[in-house]
Amino acid sequence: MSLLLTVTGRDHPGVTAALFDVLAEHGATLSDVEQVVVHDRLLLGVVVSGPGDGGPLRAALEVRAAELDVEVEFTPLPDDEPPFVGDRHHVTVLGAPLAPAALAGIARRVASCGANIERVLRLSSYPIAAYDLLVSGGETCRLRAELAAEAVAQQVDVAVEQATLWRRARRLVVLDVDSTLVQGEVIEMLAAQAGCEAEVARVTAQAMAGELDFEASLRARVALLEGLPVSAVNAVRAQVRLTPGGRTLIRTLKRLGWAVGIVSGGFTCVTDDLVAELGLDHALSNTLEVVDGRLTGRVLGRVVDRARKAEALREFAAAQGLTMAQTVAIGDGANDLDMLEAAGLGIAFNAKPVVREAADAALSVPFLDAVLFLLGVPREEVEAADAADLAVR
């Protein structure tokens, strides 16, 4: 017979050490330990067995617990209780705000899938709330479907990822550029310079919604830019702004030793600057033809469409010596669908409905660094690393 010791009370230094001294004095055999502190309140669970789990041990623990101003509860456990065998998942829940009703709905759906929440870890409290739930049991596809439906009902974001070794491994993260890493669509900014913004915007919307072939639509839009001087292109380059949180996301990924790349249906006139500014490892985008200082209205070489984006993801992974299970892809439009499907984790960022439905995870918050929460990185660790960097400058 094993014994579960549940210790609760105000946390203070020395509590755990003092209780484990008692276990050692009575020859108890340690089987399991879990401890968490929430706002200075301790919850410690210890499973012991052997000759030291009887009456003398209980009496000694009660005396020591009283001295430490904590409470201890004893629960006998059968020795033949089978260990858990099955899948585990990380369920990340994000909201601004994240109401109790939302967590209740998520927990209810988890239970309906035959799964159980083993642990909850806070990843962030501002500017959005984010929690990581370690869930045992349940089937991945069903969990994703059920929790996606609950996310819509509760107006929160939910991501489901299998708890595997790859979550801790070095990874490759590849981002779309327009409306993902940067704000807005560069071709529309070029169109504004050329005076054909409305016409280009209509074609862009149809292409991103999957209603038009991307290559044909891109060539048609670029044709409208014929004659635009390079000075106007340079003006657009200066106007491009990163999505809030984008710099933090990439800086943090690089600190972790991860590889970061971009693939874009946009243009090298913007992505080359991003590579230099952010220290990116890989990049692929389209090249606008320029003759005598003006755009010709043509794209050089093969167009970077949805199939080419997926190919680039595989090529970048191979160059880094990583498996596809170690890849993460982030995008917002139909042109990103193949890449999101090919990645170990595909994330739709403020995406079109067709993309949200196809992705492994979807974010609707305006901050790109929220991706870090889906990867299990807490905000406090990001801020601590930033503060350490500032301290040595």
Cα separations in angstroms, 298 against 180, 190, 193, 287, 305: 25, 14, 17, 9, 16
pLDDT band at 53 (very low <50, low <70, confident <90, very high): low
pLDDT in tens, 119-166: 999 999 999 999 999 999 999 999 999 999 999 999 999 999 999 988
Mean pLDDT of the residues in the chain = 93
- Choosing from 11, 132, 157, 176, the catalytic residue is 176
pLDDT band at 298 (very low <50, low <70, confident <90, very high): very high
Q: Specify the fold of 88-163.
A: Alpha-Beta Plaits (3.30.70)
pLDDT above 90: residue 208: no
Tell me the average pLDDT across 77-84.
70
User: Higher confidence at residue 190 or residue 390?
Assistant: 190
Whether 178 sits among the annotated catalytic residues: the reply is yes
**Tally of CB atoms within 10 A around 27:** 12
The neighbouring-strand residues paired with 32 are 47
CA distance 11 to 329: 42
pLDDT in tens, 321-358: 999 999 999 999 989 999 999 999 999 999 988 899 89
Q: In CATH, what class is 2-77? A: alpha beta
What residue spans define the domains of the chain? 2-77, 88-163, 172-185+238-383
pLDDT given at position 292: 97
pLDDT given at position 111: 97
Instruction: Describe the crossing of helices 55-68 and 15-25 by its angle, rounded to 10 degrees.
Output: 160
CA torsion sign for 361, 367, 372, 376 is: negative
Q: Specify the fold of 172-185+238-383.
A: Rossmann fold (3.40.50)
pLDDT band at 85 (very low <50, low <70, confident <90, very high): low
The helix or strand, by DSSP H or E, that contains position 384, with its residue range, turns out to be helix 379-392
Whether 21 sits among the annotated catalytic residues: the reply is no
The percent of residues above 70 in pLDDT, for the chain, comes to 97
Do 2-77 and 172-185+238-383 fold alike per CATH?
no
- Report yes or no: 226 and 141 within 8 Å, Cβ to Cβ: no
CA distance 122 to 209: 35
Tell me the average pLDDT across 247-253.
98
For the question of whether the overall pTM of this predicted structure is more than 0.85, the answer is yes
- Choosing from 11, 132, 157, 178, the catalytic residue is 178
Lowest mean pLDDT, pick from 52-56, 100-104, 144-148, 264-268: 52-56
- Report yes or no: 232 and 138 within 8 Å, Cβ to Cβ: no
